[in-house]
Structure 1
Amino acid sequence: MSERVYLDYIATTPVDPAVVQAMEPFFHGTFGNPSSVHTYGQEAKIALDKARDTVAGFFGVKSSEVLFTGSATEADNWAIRGVIDRLGELGYSMDRLHVVTSAIEHKAVLETLRAMEKRGLRVTYVRPDREGVVDAGAVGAAIQENTVLVSVMYVNNEVGSIQPIREIAGVVAEARKTRYAKQGAAAAHTAGSLPLYFHTDAVQGVQFLDCRADALGYDLLTFSGHKIYGPKGIGGLVVRGHVDLAPLIFGGGQEDGQRSGTENVAGIVGLAAAIALLKKPQHQSEIDRIATFSNSIITTIVGIDGVTLNGPQGAKRIQNNIHVTVGGRAGSSGTVRDSETLVIGLDMKGFAVSAGSACSAGALEPSYVLRAMGVPAAQAKSALRISIGRFTTQEEIELFLQAFRAMLK
């Protein structure tokens, strides 16, 4: 095979040609600083405002509720630290505050919380079921009188499990209502009432699922450009108007004074262009095609002795994710194969896949997501994630399946 086949769309996506075209003017002719008052600057400012409006429309929020960041990791950090740091400014010590999250969150959430635990923050990690789905009732049971934030991802980036975000938001809203009633507050977010916010990292869900604020009920939502055929180096945080966050970066007052620094206009325009493509009528047919390809792969490789599908099937699984362990299944004659050997072996055959989260590349320990799901360590070390996307073809799927079967013989 002369050409390589990319099957790691969950890690990152190629930039769509339409996105490149939208970005190109902002590297040359329209390169001004949006804070400048001259024509160059105002042209950039108009493009920035238009892009923000496009993103806000997609999420069903006000333009003022969309704040751009350098990555989704930055946005996750900000969602958590912004809430906690703001309460610190109001006089709450770290050890008086509590956060609920899941044990299978992206490292951007988990590592931020672990760093803050060292400073006294209390955190409860809710474990998922064996399919990698977090129970909304378990999240509700973990909420305490001093819980100020619940953070649960929309779609797990390793096994593709879709979390019941609407139900979790409802549980959080009910807990908030009960809290304010006990405190005697006349309305939510009244001065003197300890807040309770719900954040979701929706990076893997944006291109497939409904992310409108009124449909899901979140207070904060993280999104990214390079997972949806936009550029790297740009992400964002939806912050509903009632949420009180501490600023992330101080300086010239950009992003409504919350994240100072000259805006990445080309990146923001590219992100908006990528989101605009998701709103086109033909996007649904793209989703259907991806789902068909994924189901074809799952049906074929799970029939191979020793290969086990991880995560849920059907409506609880995101359309582009196939996550398996190879060998080590109970009653199987297959030999356990470590993830690195599998990934390198397929790469040598021209196929780019991954062992799991690209953001944890280089880690030698078994997947923490699989371990939280109850997968034995030996099996967790033999994980393989295949993910397809907009530019995947039927021929590439067939070539991959041939190579995969041959490698396991």
Structure 2
Amino acid sequence: MIWGNKKRVYADYASTTLLNREVARHMRYAERTYIANPSSIYKEGVDAHVFLEHERERVARLLSVRSHEIYFTSGGTEANATIISGVINSRIKKGIVPRDIHVITSIIEHSSVLETIRTFEKQGIRVTYIIPHTDGIVRVEDVTKAVRPETVLISIMYVNNEIGTIQPISKIGGIVRKMRAETMSEYPVLHSDASQAPLWLDCSLEGLRIDALTLDAHKMEGPRGIGAMVVKSHVLWEPLMVGGGQEFGKRPTTESLSLIAGFTEALAHAVHDRERRVEKVRKVRDTLVSLTKNIPDIVINGSLVYRLPNNLNVSLLTLSDAELAILIFDKHGVACSTKSSCLKGEEESYTVKSLGGDPRCARTTLRFSFGPHSTMSDIRRIATVLARLSEQKNK
């Protein structure tokens, strides 16, 4: 692909995607047309509010929920923190002491989920951390066995951001619904961070059987700085911030209509063109899988069956420094990553470490993630650099 002014290979779509042209066009339309604060009561403000609610309704239809269950945020991190904190704080507000509150999550969640939960854990809430199997997938029975009478929240990601493995959210959701029906309780609430999913997987809440969902525009060819949380109306939760009545009083700050327009248009494109995109990108990724089979000392991390079609995470066991390898790729015109882009200063991937196996895997991870603009030529260049890295260490 042509990226910038040079023929570069962009293989870091899991970190951020390239802005879709139609999305950019819709954002420019919103910026030029709706100039007023949507909370203002004069004509321009009312027009802006009508547009805001129109975009919210579009998102609701795409996700098969009601429009008042959509809340726009600054991104996935805020959405995760808001949902998790909101559910826990609603119980604390009702007088439940922290030690009588239980939360279930996995140890391969995004750091915004884990760090938020750990903050509450320090205050005394009980947490069960589910360990995935060696294929990078959490087992349904491990989650359901961990449920207690005091469990208020289960937060399991839809897709892992590092190794791309798809978690059995719908199956977990079906069992959680049955548990709630049997106990006549609204708990536990089931939340899933689906930030990596929309370009590749159906994210409708009814299909996933969940109560709350996190999305982030820049992971689906939308703009940075805008995300959304979907929270079903039966869920009790407290806002993370106070000070305004925007977003139904749950997320105060003046809404950015151009960013919201970008989010909505990106989600629409993600949904409507998904089948063709998946087929094209899977062929590209699978070609790289085939080429890596001839390279010594490479381990593929996570399942190749239950995995996003655009992700390949490998460990080159002979590497002494994975970040140096990223710089070597960069020198050869390839942009890729090691670990999550949100992890700075970490020497190893906690996700890959959780899979067990050779301890070198967690220190030598390389993540390649592709998108609609990725080509077979890109794959050949990546494979060539991988082979050279392996040869240098095996001489």
Q: Which amino acid aligns with 2:248?
A: D
In structure 2, what is the equivalent of residue 309 of structure 1?
Answer: 300
Q: Give a deviation string over 1:137-165, Cα, whole Å, max 9, x none.
A: 00001111100001100001111110000
Matching residue within 137, 144, 158 for 1:140: 144
In structure 2, what is the equivalent of residue 279 of structure 1?
Answer: 271
Query: Does residue 69 of the first structure (1) align with residue 69 of the second (2)?
Result: no
SS in 2 for 1:395: helix
Query: Does residue 358 of the first structure (1) align with residue 362 of the second (2)?
Result: no
Contact map agreement 1:224 1:234 (CA 8 A) in 2: yes
In structure 2, what is the equivalent of residue 395 of structure 1?
Answer: 377
Q: Give a deviation string over 1:317-361, Cα, whole Å, max 9, x none.
A: 11110000002xxxxxxx243211211110111100000211113
Higher deviation after alignment, 68-77 or 295-304: 295-304
Matching residue within 274, 282, 301 for 1:291: 282
Determine the C-alpha separation between the residues in 2 that align with 1:9 and 1:211.
Answer: 18
Contact map agreement 2:322 2:365 (CA 8 A) in 1: yes
Query: Does residue 122 of the first structure (1) align with residue 104 of the second (2)?
Result: no
Cα 1:345–1:118 change in 2 (3 A) is same
Gaps of 5+ in 2: none
Query: Does residue 212 of the first structure (1) align with residue 194 of the second (2)?
Result: no
Task: Give the C-alpha shift of residue 257 in structure 1.
Answer: 0.6
Higher deviation after alignment, 225-234 or 30-39: 30-39
SS in 2 for 1:319: coil
Determine the C-alpha separation between the residues in 1 that align with 2:357 and 2:43.
Answer: 59
Q: Which amino acid aligns with 1:313?
A: L
SS in 1 for 2:164: coil
Contact map agreement 1:4 1:351 (CA 8 A) in 2: yes
Matching residue within 362, 367, 377 for 1:385: 367
Determine the C-alpha separation between the residues in 1 that align with 2:61 and 2:82.
Answer: 22
Task: Give the C-alpha shift of residue 375 in structure 1.
Answer: 3.5
Q: Which amino acid aligns with 1:146?
A: E
Matching residue within 309, 313, 323 for 2:313: 323
Query: Does residue 17 of the first structure (1) align with residue 21 of the second (2)?
Result: yes
In structure 2, what is the equivalent of residue 265 of structure 1?
Answer: 257
In structure 2, what is the equivalent of residue 82 of structure 1?
Answer: 86
SS in 1 for 2:219: coil
In structure 2, what is the equivalent of residue 184 of structure 1?
Answer: none
Contact map agreement 1:139 1:168 (CA 8 A) in 2: yes
SS in 2 for 1:360: coil
TM-score, normalised to structure 1, is 0.92
Percentage of pairs with the same residue: 36
Task: Give the C-alpha shift of residue 41 in structure 1.
Answer: 1.5
Contact map agreement 2:296 2:390 (CA 8 A) in 1: no
Task: Give the C-alpha shift of residue 29 in structure 1.
Answer: 4.1
Task: Give the C-alpha shift of residue 117 in structure 1.
Answer: 0.5
Task: Count the aligned residue pairs.
Answer: 387
Task: Give the C-alpha shift of residue 69 in structure 1.
Answer: 0.7
Higher deviation after alignment, 376-385 or 11-20: 376-385
Contact map agreement 2:297 2:390 (CA 8 A) in 1: no
Determine the C-alpha separation between the residues in 1 that align with 2:241 and 2:81.
Answer: 12
- Cα RMSD between the aligned structures? 1.5
Q: Give a deviation string over 1:13-41, Cα, whole Å, max 9, x none.
A: 01111111000133344221110122222
Task: Give the C-alpha shift of residue 126 in structure 1.
Answer: 0.6
Contact map agreement 1:137 1:171 (CA 8 A) in 2: no
Contact map agreement 1:103 1:127 (CA 8 A) in 2: yes
Determine the C-alpha separation between the residues in 2 that align with 1:22 and 1:54.
Answer: 14
Determine the C-alpha separation between the residues in 2 that align with 1:268 and 1:302.
Answer: 43
Gaps of 5+ in 1: 181-187, 190-194, 328-334
Query: Does residue 250 of the first structure (1) align with residue 242 of the second (2)?
Result: yes
Query: Does residue 165 of the first structure (1) align with residue 148 of the second (2)?
Result: no
SS in 1 for 2:224: coil
TM-score, normalised to structure 2, is 0.95
SS in 1 for 2:368: strand
Contact map agreement 1:160 1:321 (CA 8 A) in 2: yes
Contact map agreement 2:103 2:128 (CA 8 A) in 1: yes
